[in-house]
């Protein structure tokens, strides 16, 4: 092979780091419209807040209390647990969008009922605390439409 051909081939061969960087840039370019993101990033001070994504707990304390929200899927939340060496444990929770705020509830019965009903994300619901059996809160979940 002539020296010019060898130089041309060497110019086309990427080091593993270069290949990784090029793949990362390629992935970013495939997943995002870079031009649109750059434009939007220059205008952030002009954008209004839409929704808070930092969840706050929503708890129904008295029988008869309720809330209306859009079901946003399941997540996890950390609660205090005196029976655990670390003093905390993680439980499943249901996420709801209520009045432009993300709210979560980790009630085992509520989470179980929503899972068993196969409620899809984005579904508007009415959640009512209907009774208490021992330490267990019982809920009624109603589709809104």
- Do 67 and 125 fall within a single domain? yes
> What's the pLDDT at 24?
53
pTM, two decimals, is: 0.67
> What's the pLDDT at 18?
54
Q: Which domain holds residue 16?
A: 3-46
How far is the C-alpha of 59 from the C-alpha of 137, rounded, in Å? Answer: 11
H/E stretch holding 11 reads helix 3-12
> Residue 125 sits in a domain of what CATH number?
2.40.50
User: Token pair of 127, please?
Assistant: 């959640």
Local confidence pLDDT in tens for the 145 residues of the chain: 444 444 444 444 555 555 555 555 555 556 778 888 898 899 999 988 888 888 999 999 999 999 999 999 999 988 887 787 778 888 899 999 999 999 999 999 999 999 999 999 999 999 999 999 999 999 999 999 9
- Do 87 and 116 fall within a single domain? yes
> What's the pLDDT at 143?
96
- Do 63 and 99 fall within a single domain? yes
> What's the pLDDT at 139?
95
Length of the chain counted residue by residue: 145
- Do 59 and 89 fall within a single domain? yes
- Do 103 and 127 fall within a single domain? yes
- Do 112 and 132 fall within a single domain? yes
- Do 32 and 68 fall within a single domain? no
- Do 112 and 73 fall within a single domain? yes
In angstroms, the first-to-last Cα distance of the chain is: 73
Of the candidates 47, 115, 35, the residue with the CA atom closest to the CA atom of residue 75: 115
- Do 75 and 102 fall within a single domain? yes
- Do 30 and 77 fall within a single domain? no
Instruction: Kindly tell me the burial class for residue 103, based on how many C-beta atoms sit within 10 Å of its own C-beta (0-12, 13-18, 19 or more).
Output: buried
- Do 40 and 56 fall within a single domain? no
The total number of structural domains that make up the chain: 2
How far is the C-alpha of 112 from the C-alpha of 92, rounded, in Å? Answer: 10
Instruction: Kindly tell me the burial class for residue 29, based on how many C-beta atoms sit within 10 Å of its own C-beta (0-12, 13-18, 19 or more).
Output: exposed
- Do 118 and 83 fall within a single domain? yes
Burial pattern 46-67, b for ≥16 Cβ within 10 A else e, equals eeeeeeeeebeebebeeeeeeb
């Amino acid at each position: 092979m002539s020296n010019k051909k060898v130089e041309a081939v060497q110019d086309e061969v990427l080091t593993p780091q270069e290949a990784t960087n090029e793949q990362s840039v390629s992935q970013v370019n495939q997943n995002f419209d870079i031009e649109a993101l750059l434009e939007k990033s220059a205008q952030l001070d002009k954008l209004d807040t839409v929704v808070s994504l930092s969840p706050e707990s929503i708890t129904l304390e008295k029988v008869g209390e309720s809330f209306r929200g859009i079901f946003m899927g399941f997540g996890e939340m950390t609660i205090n647990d005196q029976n655990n060496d670390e003093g905390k444990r993680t439980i499943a929770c249901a996420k709801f969008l209520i009045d432009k705020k993300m709210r979560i509830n980790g009630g085992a019965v509520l989470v179980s009922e929503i899972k068993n009903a196969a409620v899809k994300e984005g579904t508007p619901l009415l959640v009512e605390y209907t009774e208490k059996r021992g330490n267990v809160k019982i809920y009624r979940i109603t589709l809104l439409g």
